Amino acid sequence: MQDRTRIVVIGATAAIAEHCCRLWVQRGPTDLVLVARDAAKAERIATDLRVRGGAGTSVEVMIANFLDTADIVRVADATAAAGRIDVVMIAHGVLTRQENCSDIAACRESLEVNAVSPALFAEAFAGHFARADHGTIAIIGSVAGDRGRKANYTYGAAKGFLARYAEGMEHRFAGTGVAVVLLKPGPTDTPMAAENKANGRRLAAVEDVARTIVRGIDARKAVVYAPPIWQLVMLIVRHLPRFVFNRLSI
């Protein structure tokens, strides 16, 4: 039996990803590859994780441009060539304000960061995982992807795209050693939700969300809501008839 877990985290400076990494390094020998765009921030997180994990932990940092196809392929090829990968978590995202998306360039950037880039990372790793017949591809979507709404439909549509992409990939790998896990956090207390917090919106603790995510990845569940209550909430929201939904200011 393998005694170490090797995990590649794309968008490793995301608060949710960082808290998942804390859980991973605390529970046993772990080799982490942190992929990020901001070297200084990633190095700070790596240093902290090495201290938390102790002697059993190795943490490597890789810098990439997440919107560059060649860079995405480089990251997947290099990390796969360096050894067997147990989990790749794709975590980056940006909560673009909906009103800013009437600027078409900003709208495009939001779609590229939240939809195209994560899908390309998943696809780039999928080939390696297929050849190894091993590994879990974990993609962070959002409850916002479950139903479009006026407050954030560009972001929500990107996350909905990821849900469909993960679903197809899960079908592709059914019955193999590869699992695909779509993670759907609800509003969570991270820098991304700072504005929601300032507006008094209730947010889940990032530690709780990370625990649910890590458990879901371990269980290789196809879809994980975090916190789990959001599964029920979104079931209701998805089924609200249009004539009711369109009157709500949510």
Query: What are residue 77's DSSP bridge partners?
Result: none
Q: How many CA atoms lie within 13 A of 219 on its CB side?
A: 12
Residue listed under structure tokens 């002697």: 55
Q: Minimum Å distance from CB 174 to ligand NAP?
A: 25
Q: Does 136 bind ligand NAP (CB under 6 A)?
A: no
Q: Does 38 bind ligand NAP (CB under 6 A)?
A: yes
Q: Minimum Å distance from CB 169 to ligand NAP?
A: 17
User: Using CB under 6 A as the criterion, what x/- string covers residues 61-100 for binding ligand NAP?
Assistant: -----x------------------------xxxx------
Question: Is 73 in a helix, a strand, or coil?
Answer: helix
Token couple for 189: 């207390």
Between 37 and 52, whose beta carbon lies closer to ligand NAP? 37
Q: Distance from first CA to last CA of the chain, Å, rounded?
A: 49
Which of 93, 97, 96, 157 is closest to 121 using CA atoms?
A: 93
Q: Which one of residues 4, 37, 147, 221 is an interface residue with ligand NAP (CB under 6 A)? A: 37
Q: Does 191 bind ligand NAP (CB under 6 A)?
A: yes
Name the H helices within 98-176. 104-111, 117-132, 153-172
Between 130 and 203, whose beta carbon lies closer to ligand NAP? 203
Q: Which one of residues 78, 157, 192, 223 is an interface residue with ligand NAP (CB under 6 A)? A: 192
Between 134 and 167, whose beta carbon lies closer to ligand NAP? 167
What span, in angstroms and rounded, lies between the C-alpha atoms of 166 and 46? Answer: 28
Under rule CB under 6 A, which residues in 106-135 are in contact with ligand NAP? 113
Q: What's the angle, vertex CA 174, arms to CA 33 and CA 127, rounded to 5?
A: 45
Between 91 and 122, whose beta carbon lies closer to ligand NAP? 91
Q: Does 205 bind ligand NAP (CB under 6 A)?
A: no
What b/e sequence results for 183-214 when a residue is b if at least 16 CB atoms lie within 10 Å of its CB, and e otherwise? bbbbbbbbebbeeeeeeeeeebebeebbbbbb
DSSP state, 113? I
Between 56 and 208, whose beta carbon lies closer to ligand NAP? 208
User: Using CB under 6 A as the criterion, what x/- string covers residues 154-173 for binding ligand NAP?
Assistant: --------------------
> Which bin fits 201, alpha (ψ -120 to 50), beta or left (φ > 0)?
beta
Which residues of this protein are in contact with ligand NAP, per CB under 6 A?
Answer: 11, 13-16, 36-38, 41, 66, 91-94, 113, 140, 142, 185, 187-188, 190-193
